[in-house]
Amino acid sequence: MKKNNTDAIRGFVMALFMTAFLCLSPLYGQRNPINVNLIVDGSTSFINVKEEVSSWISGRMDQILVEGDSVKVWSAGSNSRIIYEGKINSAADRETVKKSIREIAASGNSTDFSGALREAVQHQSANFTYTLLISASSQGLSSILDSPQSGLLRFSRIEEFSAWRAVVVGLNLDTRVKRAASAYFNHQ
């Protein structure tokens, strides 16, 4: 009798596990492609933290990027410029993104984050956009606050490291929040 109870419990647990796996995996297993903007400090301040930042971004991109995502990588030196643009279709594409960051040639003392953010906003599509800004100096972020793009930092999250910062920027979230609130109240 005891063996039958044990077998019944095992069967029940296995059935529960399979049900949870089969029902929940479609919810968490896949997502629609997104646009990813990586804006990396291209000033000489970046030289001191380049290895740490490259390693951190590499891990972050492994967590975030899936097949179908579109990626743009900017080097924000005295002028911002796109150093990589492409779609993730394989592990080799992920490695190309990481390589583009490792190969950033830092120069000059200024950063043009506002130019990169302005361009990222202009090229947003209907898909969700994830924008990550890496700053190796406090002057780089303060230059954004003095620019017309300062409002873009309104919905952002800053992660502090010993000598650099990672800023997740919520591009055009204020517009989307207003639109969603308007749609909600108009349908009430």
CATH number of 35-177: 3.40.50
Q: Give the pLDDT score at 171.
A: 72
Q: Give the pLDDT score at 169.
A: 86
pLDDT band per the 50, 70, 90 thresholds, residue 15: very low
The more confident residue out of 48 and 142 is 48
Q: Give the pLDDT score at 122.
A: 82
Q: How many CA atoms lie within 13 A of 166 on its CB side?
A: 17
* Contacts of residue 36, Cβ cutoff 8 Å, sequence gap at least 6: 64, 65, 69, 70, 71, 72, 129, 130, 131, 132
Total H helices, total E strands in the chain = 6, 6
Q: Give the pLDDT score at 1.
A: 52
